[in-house]
């Protein structure tokens, strides 16, 4: 049996708090106290697991009355989904982030399972067999941008 990391546990907890409601407001310090971790661990989970690529918008307000608002977004149509994902791609793209984007495309029924699997193969570390990690991430970002832009014009 695979043991879950603390980040996985915190992510699962936050998703359960979110439940069926589209938005939840949390206090970073309260969640950190609940799991006996430092607040930066909560920041890490939110930054890496609750991204637009995964269908979430996050708003953070720091200070005494600070909070983090996590909102699950349901994009209106394929173009909105593609635009949101495109905005999330910079010059470099990790395999993990690209995989999350492809999973979102599949969950939103923009691509079929077969198409998603082909896309996953295209961005795989072994497919982009380059010794320079940054060159690999640059190429992956370029490939994902090209794929997403092509999907915008396919009917």
**What is the spatial distance between Cα 12 and Cα 8, in angstroms, rounded to a whole number?**
6
Among the candidates 54, 72, 90, a domain finishes at 72
Under DSSP, the state recorded for 127 is T
Is residue 111 located within the same domain as residue 147?
A: yes
Q: Would you place residue 19 in the very low, low, confident or very high pLDDT band (cuts 50, 70, 90)?
A: confident
Among the candidates 72, 105, 124, a domain finishes at 72
Is residue 30 located within the same domain as residue 86?
A: no
Among the candidates 24, 57, 72, a domain finishes at 72
Q: Is residue 13 part of a domain?
A: yes
Domain span holding position 66: 6-72
Q: Is residue 87 part of a domain?
A: yes
pLDDT of 133: 93
For residue 23, what are the β-bridge partners?
Answer: 71
**What is the spatial distance between Cα 137 and Cα 6, in angstroms, rounded to a whole number?**
27
137-145 long-range contacts (CB < 8 A, ≥24 apart) are 137/92, 137/93, 137/94, 138/91, 138/92, 140/92, 140/93, 140/94, 140/95, 140/98, 141/89, 141/90, 141/91, 141/92, 141/93, 144/85, 144/89, 144/93, 144/98, 144/101, 145/86, 145/89
For residue 39, give the CATH number of its domain. 3.30.56.130
Q: Would you place residue 125 in the very low, low, confident or very high pLDDT band (cuts 50, 70, 90)?
A: very high
Is residue 68 located within the same domain as residue 94?
A: no
Is residue 88 located within the same domain as residue 65?
A: no
pLDDT of 155: 45
Is residue 63 located within the same domain as residue 85?
A: no
Which tokens in the block code for residue 112?
């079929």
Look up the pTM and report it: 0.57
Is residue 67 located within the same domain as residue 85?
A: no
Query: In which element (H, E) is residue 67 found?
Result: strand 67-72
Chain segment 70-119, per-residue pLDDT in tens:
988 755 566 777 888 888 898 999 999 999 999 988 988 889 999 999 99
User: Per the structure, how many domains does the chain have?
Assistant: 2
Is residue 61 located within the same domain as residue 90?
A: no
For residue 72, what are the β-bridge partners?
Answer: 56
For residue 135, give the CATH number of its domain. 1.10.1200.150
Task: Kindly tell me if the per-residue pLDDT of 21 is higher than 70.
Answer: yes
Is residue 63 located within the same domain as residue 110?
A: no
Q: Is residue 1 part of a domain?
A: no
Chain segment 41-79, per-residue pLDDT in tens:
998 999 888 887 677 888 887 766 668 889 887 555 667
Higher pLDDT, 60 or 129: 129
């Amino acid at each position: 049996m695979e043991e879950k990391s603390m980040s996985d546990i915190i992510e699962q907890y936050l998703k359960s708090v979110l439940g069926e409601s589209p938005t939840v407001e949390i206090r970073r310090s309260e969640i950190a106290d609940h799991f006996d971790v430092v607040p930066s661990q909560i920041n890490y989970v939110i930054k890496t697991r609750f991204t637009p690529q995964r269908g979430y918008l996050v708003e953070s307000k720091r200070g005494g009355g600070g909070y983090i608002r996590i909102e699950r977004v349901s994009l209106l149509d394929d173009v909105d989904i593609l635009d949101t994902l495109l905005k999330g791609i910079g010059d470099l793209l990790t395999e993990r982030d690209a995989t999350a984007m492809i999973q979102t495309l599949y969950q939103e029924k923009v691509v079929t399972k077969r198409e998603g699997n082909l896309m996953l193969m295209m961005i795989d570390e072994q497919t982009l067999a380059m010794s320079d990690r940054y060159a690999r991430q640059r190429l992956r970002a370029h490939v994902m941008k090209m794929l997403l832009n092509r999907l915008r014009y396919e009917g």
